[in-house]
Amino acid sequence: MSKTSLRKEFQINKDSTIIDIQNVKKYFKDVKAVDGVSLKVKKGELFSILGPNGAGKTTLVRILTTILTPTSGNAYIKGHSVKSEKSEIVRFIGVCPQEIVIYDILRAEENVEFVAHMHGISNKEAKEKANILLEKFGIAGRKTWSKNFSGGMKRRLNLVMALVFDPEILFLDEPTAGLDPQARRLVWDYIRELKNKDITIILMTHDMVEADSLSDRVAIIDRGKIIAQGTPTELKEKHGSDNVLEISFIEQIDLNIVKNSLGKIPFVTNSKEINKKGRKTLLISFKGGLKEFIHILQSGIINNIDEVENMKFRQNSLEDVFLNLTGKRLRD
């Protein structure tokens, strides 16, 4: 398909698809970092790509931001090919990479103003925008060199540098990694503000709470492949369960006996044995009330309740979706 027809096609669909990823692969010798990914992202939505470290998230974002060229397949950002129209794409995307990229010998406002000038913003407007954003993220007025900032401050500065020229599409690769809870919440609140400004946001994360809280839609990636996608609610309804009970036992219990007994309970949908800090642990997915389930456990499923070391109850989450799809925890 020619560039002209691609742009024409994009104009027709400009109110829906703004990023179109078509069977993208990226191989590094024998490593299939991205292995046939196809996704469509709508204009103005926050689309999260959720997966463990090494799943292919960062490689994919580097392709979409034109840093890497795919081995095969293609992706179109506002109708422009990441292979052949890189100079067009970089004009309207902002990137906050996983690796901190700042100029250590510049102060915070100088870093931000430098990026603004690269995008043709006047000196006066650059200073105004830098001050507003740095104030919002709690790093305004600091006269020290950026190299003396804490890791969390550097990450927030990186985010400000990606935002200063008001990009139409924003790529965030683990934007809250290493932040303390207060700074993390601050970033989340600002991301929610950006959603209301019709900015399209691609969030790469391994934080299930972050993805669940912020996303319009989520794609789960594992070993370079998309294994599921949908809204957080759709994913939890399709691949999760209503409730999860995590039970840790002392060493001598036979988990197979417990698992076989659990399989006889009508509202138990799944049970998995996991290794958690060297303890024998069962992760039980079930429908119904917690009190009723615990009563059944006490009435004979576990012969001696003293064998139970710990119980934790939680509602279904994206962590459980990933566990049910892959048989492992997201952080394993």
**What are the structural domain ranges in the chain?**
3-237, 241-315
Q: How many residues does the chain have?
A: 332
How much is the pLDDT for 231? 94
Asked whether the domain spanning 241-315 has the same topology as the one spanning 3-237, the reply is no
* Local confidence pLDDT in tens for the 332 residues of the chain: 444 444 444 443 445 899 999 999 999 988 999 999 999 999 999 999 998 888 999 999 999 999 999 999 999 999 999 999 999 999 899 988 888 888 888 998 999 999 889 888 899 999 998 999 999 888 888 888 888 888 888 888 998 989 888 899 999 988 888 888 888 888 898 899 888 888 999 999 888 889 999 999 999 999 999 999 999 989 988 887 667 888 887 766 777 777 888 877 888 888 888 777 667 788 888 877 777 777 776 766 665 566 778 878 877 788 888 888 888 777 65
Tell whether domain 241-315 is in CATH 3.40.50.2020.
no
- CATH superfamily, domain at 3-237: P-loop containing nucleotide triphosphate hydrolases (3.40.50.300)
How much is the pLDDT for 64? 96
How much is the pLDDT for 6? 47
Judge residue 93's burial from the number of C-beta atoms within 10 Å of its C-beta, 0-12 exposed, 13-18 middle, 19 or more buried: buried
Are β-strands 169-173 and 93-96 bridged in parallel, bridged antiparallel, or unpaired?
A: parallel
How much is the pLDDT for 8? 41
Judge residue 237's burial from the number of C-beta atoms within 10 Å of its C-beta, 0-12 exposed, 13-18 middle, 19 or more buried: middle
